[in-house]
């Protein structure tokens, strides 16, 4: 059986890149060796193969990402105003949008009227209790007089029974009045709770930024009607920026949370940004169908997050942009020193 030839992307890319350099090199003076030919070729090969790095340092492609936060409407309704624009940096707690609350304000007025009605019922119940207590006191005094007259022989048993009945009626009326006060108090509490509920809905209709960040997308305009939970704005948390890279199993197995890393972004290759390993996936993201040999195990790729320090991000906040591509460098051996080319270098 004839063997199938495998074409590798690396030799082809190297050949094409070298061909691109030939016209430029041909412009050098004839009869003399092209100046810097060897160093330029070595730099090109090192860039394509990564062989210029020390043994304990590994590079991988990635892109900057920032934690995205959705600012959404809690209730369905009409958007009254959107107070932030795309690209604007907002502070935590800053109002970014308002919903129309005219219907909720009408409900609030009704709930407040119920509170006043319940409070009036409480006052009436308290007055009824005072009246019933007075009646009970009078009935008790008359019962005591009738009892003394009956004991001295001047009163009849019928009169004593009548006073006892009147006392029992007064006591029952007092208990009913006290129960009415309890009911009025409960109604007042329910009315106040309804006021608090409607007021909370009105407060939630004023949308505030949950944290400091940059507005990425403005998804609706003033006057639009949105459903409950519909996003109004998306924010990028500029204090939580990281690069996601994928490394082989042999590299991921040697990484630890907190290990140092370096990031070089494509738009700014002259700067080296420090970072730290903040996450290493517990499972491989790319796995062959069968893992039987060492070469196949090497194909297992693990996701790693390299987080940039929040204080550094705050210092260069205006330059932070999510989605920027670049190269990340991690160390499989913490004892390996960073080469001079990967020393921290930030804009001044």
Question: Which of 282, 272, 278, 332 has the alpha carbon at shortest distance from 305?
Answer: 278
274, pLDDT greater than 90:
yes
The pLDDT score that the predictor gives to residue 288 is: 53
Q: What is the mean pLDDT of the chain?
A: 81
pTM recorded for the entire structure: 0.63
Within 8 A by CB and 6+ apart from 333, the residues are: 55, 56, 254
The pLDDT score that the predictor gives to residue 41 is: 46
Q: What is the C-alpha separation between 93 and 269, in angstroms, rounded?
A: 37
Q: What is the C-alpha separation between 207 and 219, in angstroms, rounded?
A: 14
Lowest mean pLDDT among 16-20, 57-61, 89-93: 16-20
Q: What is the C-alpha separation between 259 and 266, in angstroms, rounded?
A: 23
The pLDDT score that the predictor gives to residue 51 is: 52
Of the chain, the percentage scoring pLDDT greater than 70 comes to 81
* Predicted confidence band of residue 31 (pLDDT cuts 50, 70, 90): very low
111, pLDDT greater than 90:
yes
Q: What is the C-alpha separation between 274 and 252, in angstroms, rounded?
A: 19
Helix, strand or coil, per DSSP, at residue 276: strand
Strand ranges, E, within the chain: 57-72, 77-82, 89-90, 95-99, 206-208, 213-218, 225-226, 231-248, 260-265, 268-280, 301-307, 325-331
């Amino acid at each position: 059986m004839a063997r199938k030839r495998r074409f590798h992307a690396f030799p082809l890319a190297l050949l094409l890149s070298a061909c691109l350099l030939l016209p430029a090199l041909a412009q050098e003076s004839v009869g003399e060796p092209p100046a810097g030919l060897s160093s330029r070729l070595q730099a090109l090969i090192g860039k394509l193969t990564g062989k210029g790095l020390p043994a304990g340092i590994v590079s991988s492609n990635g892109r900057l990402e920032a934690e995205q936060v959705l600012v959404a409407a809690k209730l369905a309704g009409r958007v009254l105003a959107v107070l932030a624009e795309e690209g604007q940096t907002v502070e935590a707690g800053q109002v970014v949008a308002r919903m129309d609350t005219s219907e909720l304000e009408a409900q609030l007025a009704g709930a407040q009227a119920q509170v006043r009605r319940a409070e009036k019922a409480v006052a009436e119940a308290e007055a009824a209790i005072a009246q019933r207590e007075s009646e009970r006191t009078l009935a008790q005094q008359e019962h005591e007089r009738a009892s003394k007259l009956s004991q001295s022989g001047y009163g009849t048993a019928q009169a004593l029974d009548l006073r006892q009945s009147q006392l029992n009626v007064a006591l029952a009326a007092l208990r009913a009045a006290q129960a009415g006060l309890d009911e009025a108090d409960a109604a007042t509490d329910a009315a106040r709770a309804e006021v608090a509920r409607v007021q909370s809905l009105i407060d939630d209709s004023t949308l505030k930024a949950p944290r400091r960040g940059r507005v990425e997308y403005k998804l609706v305009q003033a006057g639009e009607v949105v459903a409950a939970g519909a996003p109004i704005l998306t924010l990028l948390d500029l204090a939580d920026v990281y690069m996601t890279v994928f490394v082989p199993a042999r590299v991921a197995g040697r990484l630890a949370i907190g290990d140092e890393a370096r990031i070089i972004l494509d738009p700014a290759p002259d700067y080296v940004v420090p970072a730290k390993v903040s996450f290493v996936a517990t499972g491989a993201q790319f796995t062959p169908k069968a893992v039987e040999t060492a070469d196949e195990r090497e194909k297992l790729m693990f996701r790693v997050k390299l987080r940039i320090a929040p204080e550094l991000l705050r210092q260069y906040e205006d330059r932070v942009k999510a989605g920027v591509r670049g190269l990340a460098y991690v160390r499989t051996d913490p004892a390996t020193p960073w080469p001079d080319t990967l020393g921290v270098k930030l804009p001044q």
